[in-house]
Structure 1
Amino acid sequence: MSPSDEIRLGCRRILLRGLTLPCAIGAYERERGRLQKVAFEADVWVRRPENAREDVLDDVLNYDLIVEAIRNEAARGHVDLQETLVERIARHLAALPAVELVRVQSTKLEAYPDARIGVETWRRGDAARLR
């Protein structure tokens, strides 16, 4: 079985879309001292537990942990680069229980009057590294 098959068949993918937060972000002087709207997306692949009970919250990854991780990193203080912010979020999500793979994307909605600019990163989860 290929690694991509193992992810598809052995995991569930949790998708977060549409989370927009005010962030202190930007390397340019014009971006400092103000908040900008940043939209976030995340995909989190979580290993399916073999002995999971049906419809039991304790046997799945609670979505609150994903949203909380992104909110906490976004509120942590000024960061110059989107690359830094998405890497911090990805590290946090990768450390959650049973996480095999994460994809995190941020999009600055106000950096340019006529365009949105985003950054995406992928990271192997700690569960994948421990196997």
Structure 2
Amino acid sequence: MLAASAAFAHPKLAACRRLFLRNYEVYINIGVHDFEKRGEQRVVINIDLFVPFALSTPKEDKLREVVDYDFMRATVAKRVSQGHIHLQETLCDDLARAMLEHPHVLAARVSTEKPDVYPDCDAVGVEVFRIKED
């Protein structure tokens, strides 16, 4: 696993297009503390997908020729609908793994943030970056 900051410079990604979902806000049951288990919390999710140009350059200007953005949103919705999640690390890992299940996605970067945890900072969160193995 690469550090997320080195993700964009990885040589495998040079011939890729980057698709992204920015600041996708969801309300989910997440957290390890008792008060967190009683209700939903706001979580902000960011996703970058790296898709080879050969698999994402439309010739007919048709949606079927690319990875549909709805795939990212639907994947998030499916995971968060499965019930309480204790850790952001679990959520990030699960989402990254699910993104890589798409046959055209070579790599994925996923971050989650809980912006309402501490009053003295913008957010606390986790980020992961994964590349499919050869």
Q: Aligned equivalents of 1:119 and 1:67: distance in 2?
A: 19
User: Is 2:110 aligned against 1:104?
Assistant: yes
CA deviation string 1:34-53 (max 9, x = no partner): 10000000000011226841
Does the Cα contact within 8 Å between 1:20 and 1:39 map onto a contact in 2?
yes
TM superposition shift of 1:56: 1.7
User: Is 2:125 aligned against 1:118?
Assistant: yes
Q: Which residue of 1 aligns with 2:97?
A: 91
What are structure 1's unaligned runs of at least 5 residues? none
TM-score (norm 2): 0.84
User: Is 2:21 aligned against 1:16?
Assistant: yes
Find the partner of 1:75 among 81, 98, 105. Answer: 81
Give the share of equivalent positions with the same residue, in percent: 31
Q: Which residue of 1 aligns with 2:52?
A: 47
Please identify, of 112-121 and 49-58, the stretch whose mean Cα deviation from structure 2 is larger. Answer: 49-58
TM-score (norm 1): 0.86
Q: Aligned equivalents of 2:116 and 2:78: distance in 1?
A: 21
Q: Which residue of 2 aligns with 1:60?
A: 66
What are structure 2's unaligned runs of at least 5 residues? 1-8
Q: Aligned equivalents of 1:52 and 1:36: distance in 2?
A: 39
Runs of 4 or more above 3 Å deviation:
none
Which structure is higher in strand share?
Answer: 1
